[in-house]
Amino acid sequence: MPAPKKPTLSPTVMMILFGLLAMTAVSVFSSFGDVAAIPYSQFQVYLADGKVKQVTISGDVIHGTLKEATPDGKTQFTTVNVNHDLAAALSAKGVEFSGTASGGGFSTILSWVIPPLLFLGVWMFMSRGAGGAGGMAGGLFSIGRSKAKLVAPETDIKVAFDDVAGVDEAKAELHEIVDFLKRPDEFGRLGAHIPRGILLVGPPGTGKTLLARAVAGEAGVPFFSTNGAEFVEMFVGVGASRVRDLFEHARTAAPCIIFIDELDALGRARGASPMGGQDEKEQTLNQLLAEMDGFDRSAAIVVLAATNRPEILDPALLRAGRFDRQVLVDRPDKIGRVQILAIHAKKLSLDPDVRLEDIAALTPGFTGADLANLANEAAVVATRRGGQNIAMADFTAAVERIVAGLEKKSRILIPRERRIVAYHEMGHTLVALSIPGSDPIQKVSIIPRGIGALGYTMQRPTDDRFLMGRQELEDKMTILMGGRAAETILGDDISTGASDDLAKATDIARGMVLRFGMDKGLGPVAWDTEQAQFLGQPGQFWQQRRFSDQTAHEIDTTVRTLLQAALDRAIGILRANRAALDEGAASLLARETLTADELPKVHSPATIPAIEGGNV
């Protein structure tokens, strides 16, 4: 698509400007000839002495010629007329006087020249755009044009499908679209037609935009890239005009791809606004719906969009015929994380001891963007320590930096607080070591990190888990209660250090009761009033409760029973391993950080039942 032409001056306008400038120059240079500007009183003296040969009166200005040259050699003069009676009175008193012209020739010409020039300058400024525009964007007179950028795959895009990992299913789906655009006859021999729209759905950082860039690099067809927020303006009708302009350019370049990032900014469900009515966003959405499934479907245009808020999109956008396919771009599993790390490792200098599988095991739940940040942080750590290559310890430090925050070695704790933190973290560690099947302990530290963490216990999952049983949830609550249990056994007053642990354990207990139906007394009922949101998005701030006060009391009682049972179980485990607890806390106080090989041995495994009490 060609860039918009800059406005140029027509020959007529240039001739008018040249004439005005010439008149101005003549007026300016005429004032520097053999013309003397004299006071009006001097003119009266010349007139009385008979030295004036000829005069020309133009308004208040008198131009004249003298019979003889003045001492400075000038024969031409000019003066400004003064009221006759006033002039006579001034002459009688011997006062030299002169007048001032209300408007000279030069000032008159300027009054005619400057306003058109100012108007012309403002017009050119607004036409070119105040800040310089690129792509389809223009100045004030092109406000209704689309701001989408035409991407040239052969020059602007250096990303291919080989540069995207961890989302094999999404790649296969999009690869089919690319093949459809390259070989439409082969796919259409049985009557199939190209999908109208593909919606990439997934949490932030999973690679939706990167996949779109890979499609642009692989397709070899024009690729228009824009953002949903670029269609939203305060002026009614501007967004709809930009949608029309975008599809008009796409039709001229078909077959092509239109990519709309952050579709939720444009496609929010109609009627969701409390103001209602046909506001600007609804008009823009209506125009998009019409363009995606109007009467003209002959053009081979594929609309590729991305969002992490699919639950708020208008249903008309998601129906068949518009976004025919919805491709989930989820967080990668362990194998996917290894593949993503392998791509980033190509640009890094790694030590031979670095195993990508071990790094992937340390990063469950990390997205592609998180792993890219991890690789960069590891390189920074290695550079800071002066290493020649990036070691496994650098990746471990980078994981701790991302998960727990920056080390706060300057945060000095008093001896009593350090002792409480050491017992607290060792309580988590020993409970996790005592429970069969729990995630292995990677590292324990009492070095403060981040905003409020005074210590941390790092566990490394062995496998990615998608389902969890009741026993596993109970074990997690018990491990979370290990810190509070250690403080209880220590005998001192319990501290505020277990606040985050209590919040996480409470969430697990409430989920077991409210969402998963794991309590026999309350039955297999989902009591949670919060509507489940896609991709873990927060729900509404307040919703009406859907159960009675008696049921609410039973829920609170059951949750409290679960948490108390988990704490009692953790206390029992630590009492059975009191020697290991004291030994581990002493080692932490002396060394501040312990790895898996340096942890104390659990002498007696836990024999306490999973959870006692309650109806669970």
Residues 376 and 525 both lie in one domain? no
Do 317 and 372 lie in one domain? The reply is: no
Is the predicted pLDDT of residue 611 greater than 80, yes or no?
no
Q: In this structure, are 178 and 204 located in the same domain? A: yes
Does the residue 435 lie in any domain?
A: yes
Say if residue 204 is in the same domain as residue 287: yes
Look at strands 456-459 and 441-445 and give their pairing: antiparallel
Q: Which residue has the higher pLDDT, 107 or 228?
A: 228
Catalytic residues, by residue number, are 425
Q: Is residue 55, in this structure, part of any structural domain at all? A: no
Instruction: Record the tokens describing residue 87, joined without a space.
Output: 């002039």
The interaxial angle of helices 334-345 and 368-384, nearest 10 deg, is 50
Return the minimum-mean-pLDDT range out of 36-40, 97-101, 460-464, 606-610: 606-610
Would you say residue 616 has pLDDT above 60?
no
Task: Tell whether 424 and 467 lie within a shared domain.
Answer: yes
User: Is 107 part of a structural domain of the chain?
Assistant: no
H/E segment holding residue 393: helix 392-403
What's the CATH code of the domain at 533? 1.20.58.760
Whether 356 and 321 share a structural domain: no
Strand partners, 224: 150, 258
Confidence at residue 238, expressed as pLDDT on a 0 to 100 scale: 79
Residue 171 in contact with residue 161, Cβ under 8 Å?
yes
Cα separations in angstroms, 545 against 511, 529, 530, 531, 552: 16, 6, 9, 11, 9
Residue 135 in any domain: the answer is no
Which residues, in sequence order, are bridge partners of residue 307?
201
Question: Where among 328, 354, 384 does a domain terminate?
Answer: 328
55 vs 365, more confident: 365
Q: Which residue has the higher pLDDT, 445 or 569?
A: 569
Identify whether 383 is part of a domain.
yes
Q: Are residues 147 and 263 in the same domain?
A: yes
Q: How confident is the model at residue 161 (pLDDT cuts 50, 70, 90)?
A: confident
Question: In the predicted model, is pLDDT for residue 291 greater than 70?
Answer: yes
The answer to whether residues 289 and 378 belong to one domain is no
Q: What is the mean pLDDT of residues 197-207?
A: 88
Q: Return the minimum-mean-pLDDT range out of 29-43, 204-218, 373-387, 422-436.
A: 29-43
Per-residue pLDDT band at 450 (split at 50, 70, 90): low
Is residue 275 within 8 A of residue 229, CB to CB? The reply is: no
Q: What is the mean pLDDT of residues 231-252?
A: 81
What is the C-alpha separation between 480 and 188, in angstroms, rounded? 58
Q: Are residues 458 and 509 located together in one domain of the fold?
A: yes
Return the pLDDT at 84. 66
Choose between 2 and 365: higher pLDDT.
365
pLDDT above 60 (res 113): yes
- Average pLDDT (54-78) is 75
Q: How many domains does the chain have?
A: 3
| Same domain as 190, residue 151 | yes
Alpha helices (H) along 95-201: 105-128, 168-182, 184-188
Inside any domain, residue 115: no
Average pLDDT over residues 101-127: 64
Whole-number Å distance between alpha carbons of 565 and 559: 10
**Reported confidence tier of residue 134, pLDDT bands at 50, 70, 90:** very low
Comparing 13 with 254, the larger pLDDT belongs to 254
Distance from C-alpha of 446 to C-alpha of 425, rounded to nearest angstrom: 7
- Lookup: tokens for 261: 């990032």
User: Alpha-carbon distance 205 to 265, whole Å?
Assistant: 18
Co-location of 205 and 258 in the same domain: yes
**Can you tell me the mean pLDDT for 558-571?**
94
CA 134/CA 142 separation, integer angstroms: 12
Listed range (191-205, 372-386, 593-607) with the worst mean pLDDT:
593-607
Q: In this model, does residue 455 exceed pLDDT 70?
A: yes
The mean of the pLDDT values for the chain is 77
**Structural domain range at position 491:** 415-598
Domain end call among 280, 307, 328:
328
Q: Which of 44-48, 210-214, 557-561 has the highest mean pLDDT?
A: 557-561
Query: Cis (ω within 30 of 0) for the bond into 310?
Result: no
Half-sphere exposure of 576 (CA within 13 A, CB side): 19
pLDDT band at 478 (very low <50, low <70, confident <90, very high): very high
Judgement on whether residues 229 and 281 belong to the same structural domain of the protein:
yes
Q: 157 in helix, strand or coil?
A: coil
In a domain? residue 62: no
Residue 65 lies in a domain: no
- Ranges of H-type helices in 149-223: 168-182, 184-188, 208-219
Domain-terminating residue out of 313, 328, 343: 328
Q: End-to-end alpha-carbon separation of the chain, Å?
A: 66
- The whole-number pLDDT of residue 548 equals 83
Question: pLDDT tens for residues 15-28?
Answer: 666 666 666 555 55
Question: How much is the pLDDT for 154?
Answer: 57
